């Protein structure tokens, strides 16, 4: 569910018209709904309410300060993957003590910083990392709280670039090796074994891979609790969202329809996994990113040109792959709708950006009502891995971001000024 819908033929986010936002702030423009963020967070929280749990929002999916603050005000912790992200948590008014620090490449500086901020746990990805954390914690006369990431070797059945839980992937430590690693870790003076962690992949649309992984890992967690007194199990993130029927899924009635029956919901997720988790009497951590932020955001763009070549009809828009890279990078689908509802003839359209690469394509042969120069379109489900993966390729400025709450809206990130793109750059001294 989400809060983007047509009201009298015009797309709105909650109580605010998208046209009015573009009039004020220009395009391309990311727009986020506070209510959708809160609802998604609360749905997960309610589904897990029978267990002592902590939701650590995977801020890699959307790290805008306004978005993060919306979630930390609801009690969310954060799944962080760099020293920069931990600093962002603090800048957003979040609590580092509710944060986990993950990632396969933690530097010495990042580890020392995370320790100084009292991070809840390091999610450790290798034995060399464990030794490094032990050494740095020793220098700081601390005991570092850690969870080791188990790779359960379960195929998440998702896109190959976002599968993480098989032995083909660089993540975690193989299931069979975990007991030995904990035994060695228990002997390290500056390590406190606090938990066990796993994450098998992103955009999972079925519960089965989660269930298989939990069934495999729960007995291991029970053994580690008995032996080392660990206090939590993190089952990672990965709950998928609706991309194909994104607009329709904003309507509660749609969820009673046949096509909605197979969608993974927090209720299904909890009902399937909790029976294996409750008996452990461990605190449960989850690290959802996309589920919370994905359908809470859209990217709005203006049609610059329409053009017909030999066989094809193209709409060239003012957003490009530098603003939303997912279609180019993962061939991912984003539903695209006109901001002003249209009765024009439906025509197979390629919506593309202006960058000189064929990959700069948002959709191919998509049947949408014919668009004209100046029309606004919205790319839905762009709240996760949208702005955060944007860049300035072709010296195009980063788009602005707007947060809406009811009838209120505010700029939570200003559009980048072109001259700020090369701040910090210079010519060489010998170039006079």
| 192 binds ligand LLP per the rule CB under 6 A | no
Using H for helix, E for strand and C for coil, what is the string for 15-62? CEEHHHHHHHHCCCEEEEEHHHHHHHHHHHHHHCCCCCEEEEEECCCC
Q: How many residues bind ligand LLP (CB under 6 A)?
A: 22
Residues 378, 11: contact at Cβ < 8 Å?
Answer: yes
| 238 binds ligand LLP per the rule CB under 6 A | yes
Q: Write out the binding residues for ligand LLP, residues 88-117 only, by CB under 6 A.
A: 102
Question: How far, in Å, CA of 241 to CA of 33, rounded?
Answer: 16
H helices of 140-278, where? 178-186, 208-228, 266-277
Stretch binding ligand LLP (CB under 6 A), from 41-49, 181-189, 281-289, 353-361: 281-289
Separation of CA 32 from chain center: 14
Read off φ and ψ for residue 24, nearest 5 degrees: -80, -40
Cβ at position 91, least distance to ligand LLP in Å: 21
Interface pattern 41-70 for ligand LLP (x via CB under 6 A): -----------------x--x---------
List 14, 79, 360, 401, residue binding ligand LLP (CB under 6 A):
79
The nearer residue to ligand LLP, 194 or 326, going by C-beta atoms, is: 326
Q: Write out the binding residues for ligand LLP, residues 389-408 only, by CB under 6 A.
A: none
Q: Name the token pair of 312.
A: 């094809």
Question: How far, in Å, CA of 41 to CA of 293, rounded?
Answer: 9
Q: Let me know if 356 is a catalytic residue.
A: yes
> Active-site residue among 56, 99, 356, 363?
356
List 236, 266, 297, 397, residue binding ligand LLP (CB under 6 A):
236
Q: Which of 234, 235, 237 is nearest to 287 (CA)?
A: 237
| 202 binds ligand LLP per the rule CB under 6 A | yes
List 4, 120, 243, 385, residue binding ligand LLP (CB under 6 A):
385
Cβ at position 222, least distance to ligand LLP in Å: 22
| 199 binds ligand LLP per the rule CB under 6 A | yes
| 82 binds ligand LLP per the rule CB under 6 A | no
Burial of 122 (0-12, 13-18, 19+ CB in 10 A): buried
Stretch binding ligand LLP (CB under 6 A), from 44-52, 88-96, 199-207, 337-345: 199-207
Q: Which of 381, 345, 389, 344 is nearest to 363 (CA)?
A: 381
| 28 binds ligand LLP per the rule CB under 6 A | no
Do you find a cis peptide bond into 28, omega within 30 degrees of 0? yes
| 80 binds ligand LLP per the rule CB under 6 A | no
Q: Which of 126, 121, 115 is nearest to 101 (CA)?
A: 121
Cβ at position 52, least distance to ligand LLP in Å: 20
Residues 144, 137: contact at Cβ < 8 Å?
Answer: yes
Contacts of 253 (CB under 8 A, 6+ apart): none
Stretch binding ligand LLP (CB under 6 A), from 225-233, 235-243, 335-343, 397-405: 235-243
Residues 277, 48: contact at Cβ < 8 Å?
Answer: no
Cβ at position 348, least distance to ligand LLP in Å: 26
Mapped onto helix, strand or coil, the DSSP state of residue 376 is strand
Q: Write out the binding residues for ligand LLP, residues 152-181 only, by CB under 6 A.
A: 162, 164
Q: How do beta strands 361-369 and 10-13 pair?
A: unpaired
List 290, 302, 334, 405, residue binding ligand LLP (CB under 6 A):
290
Active-site residues, by number, are 356
- Contact residues: ligand LLP, CB under 6 A: 58, 61, 79, 102, 162, 164, 199, 202-203, 236-239, 287-291, 326, 330, 384-385
């Amino acid at each position: 569910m989400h809060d983007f819908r047509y009201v009298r033929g015009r797309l709105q986010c909650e109580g605010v018209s998208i046209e009015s936002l573009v009039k004020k702030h220009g395009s391309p423009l990311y727009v986020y709904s506070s209510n959708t963020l809160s609802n998604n967070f609360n749905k997960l929280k309610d589904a897990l309410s029978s267990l002592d749990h902590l939701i650590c929002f995977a801020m890699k999916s959307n790290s805008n300060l306004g978005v993060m603050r919306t979630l930390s005000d609801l009690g969310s912790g954060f799944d962080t993957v760099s020293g920069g992200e931990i600093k962002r948590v603090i800048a957003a008014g979040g609590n580092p003590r509710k944060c986990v620090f993950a990632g396969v490449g933690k530097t010495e500086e990042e580890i020392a910083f995370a320790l100084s901020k009292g991070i809840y746990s390091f999610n450790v990805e290798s034995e060399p990392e464990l030794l490094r954390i032990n050494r740095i914690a020793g220098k700081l006369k601390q005991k570092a709280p850690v969870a080791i990431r188990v790779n359960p070797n379960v195929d998440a059945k998702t896109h190959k670039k976002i599968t993480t839980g098989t032995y083909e992937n660089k993540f975690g430590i193989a299931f069979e090796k975990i007991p030995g690693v904990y035994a060695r870790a228990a002997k390290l003076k500056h390590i406190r074994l606090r938990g066990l962690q796993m994450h098998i992949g992103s955009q999972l649309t079925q519960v089965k891979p989660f269930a298989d992984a939990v069934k495999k890992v729960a007995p291991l967690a029970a053994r580690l609790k008995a032996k080392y007194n660990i206090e939590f199990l993190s089952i990672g993130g990965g709950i998928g969202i609706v991309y194909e029927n994104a607009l329709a899924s904003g309507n509660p009635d749609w969820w009673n329809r046949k096509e909605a029956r197979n969608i993974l919901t927090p209720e299904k997720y909890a009902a399937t996994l909790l029976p294996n988790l409750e008996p452990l009497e461990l605190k449960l951590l989850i690290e959802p990113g996309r589920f919370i932020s994905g359908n809470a955001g859209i990217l709005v763009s203006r049609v610059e040109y329409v053009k017909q070549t030999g066989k094809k009809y193209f709409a060239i828009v003012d957003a490009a792959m530098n603003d939303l890279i997912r279609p180019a990078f993962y061939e991912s689908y984003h539903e695209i709708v006109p901001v002003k509802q249209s009765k024009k003839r439906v025509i197979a359209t390629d919506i593309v950006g202006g960058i000189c690469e064929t990959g700069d394509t948002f959709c191919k042969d998509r049947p949408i009502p014919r668009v004209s120069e100046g029309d606004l379109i919205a790319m839905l489900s762009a709240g996760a891995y949208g702005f955060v993966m944007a860049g300035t390729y072709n010296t195009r400025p980063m788009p602005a971001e707007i947060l809406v709450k009811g009838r209120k809206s505010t700029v939570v990130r200003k559009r980048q000024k072109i001259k700020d793109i090369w701040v910090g750059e210079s010519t060489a001294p010998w170039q006079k």
